[in-house]
Structure 1
Amino acid sequence: MDFDPDNEVVKLCAQGMMTEGEGKLDEAHELFMQAWGIASNDFEHFTAAHYVARNQQQLQDKLHWNVVSLQYALKIDDEVIASYFPSLYLNFGKSYEDLGENELALKNYIYAKEASHYLAVDGYGNMINAGIEAGIKRNS
């Protein structure tokens, strides 16, 4: 299990990220929702929901889609999914922090830290670890 660049859900999410980067948030949202609409397995649903969550303007909606993403991730029976849990829990922590729920934020940042040993030692892993540490510091 990995992000297959030929997978239609992955393609739509990648296109949505590029569109989001251009500041076209509504178009990006449509691409992410299109990915959600064609998702046909737990990995595709997890992936699409993760990107839908990123693009939400309302804090409650962002939290909702983070929950959906995690629910699908937990259904995936593949050890590779473990490398995504630090990011997922980091997103939860930030959602709760933004909602003023600092205890729940800290709890999720700690979950992210506990799963961080699954991260690769690279730029992405360093970025996620820095986000986790900053979240813990802000909410301790």
Structure 2
Amino acid sequence: MDQPAQTTPDETMTSIAAAVELGRSGQRVQARDTLTALWDRIGTTGDAFHRCTLAHYLADLQDTTQAELVWDERALAAVADLTDERAQRHHRSLQVQGFLPSLHLNLADDHRRLGNTATAREHLATAQNLVGYLPDDPYGDMIRGAIQNVTRAMAAGSTRRLDSHPSSNGG
């Protein structure tokens, strides 16, 4: 008998997912407020899986690149405290290494848009070096494509938000 993909019900992850859907439906302020309240409840030393996930999504709901950078840095900091065992309590297929390409990509893009070229290049190189940890599925394809988009933007010297950025399309 197959084990269900989500192994343990998790109210916090359910709340995070609901807030993310609000943001994707165009209700960015309500989504941001909901996620910020969850962050306040979890705290900076709460469950690393919750902190990483929440900060990752909250970054996309920010109005400025500088604020987005703060949340992306929090997501990367939280992943340092995360174990595969903890992630797999949420979904049995999750591996912490698989989170890293996206987290470094987001930081590369933030720094690119802020004009911090050297730091952007460092994070982009890290993301590129970690693509082998991405699954061979639509998510992995999306991250690999986004790495290519940021690479092209860096080569062009662009500091503009990319059309493919999650906050550019309401999510």
The normalised TM-score by structure 2 is 0.74
Q: For the residues of structure 2 that align with 1:5 and 1:95, how far apart are their CA atoms?
A: 33
Deviations 1:10-33 (A, max 9, x none): 112211121112211110101211
Aligned to 1:134: 149
Among 79, 82, 89, the alignment partner of 1:76 is 82
Aligned to 1:44: 50
How many residues get paired? 139
Aligned to 1:125: 140
Aligned to 1:99: 114
Instruction: Decide which structure has the larger Cα Rg and report it.
Output: 2
Aligned to 1:26: 29
Aligned to 2:12: 9
Deviations 1:46-83 (A, max 9, x none): 11111111111121111011111111101223381110
Q: For the residues of structure 2 that align with 1:53 and 1:4, how far apart are their CA atoms?
A: 27
Q: Which runs of 4+ in 1 moved over 6 A?
A: 2-5
Distance 1:23 1:31, change over 3 A: same
The normalised TM-score by structure 1 is 0.89
Q: For the residues of structure 1 that align with 2:69 and 2:136, how far apart are their CA atoms?
A: 28
User: Unaligned stretches of 5+ in structure 2?
Assistant: 86-94, 156-171
| Aligned residues with identical type, % of pairs | 25
Name the one with the larger helix percent. Answer: 1
Give the structure, 1 or 2, with the largest relative contact order (CA under 8 Å, sep 6 or more). Answer: 2
Please give the root-mean-square deviation of Cα atoms over the aligned residues, in Å.
Answer: 1.9
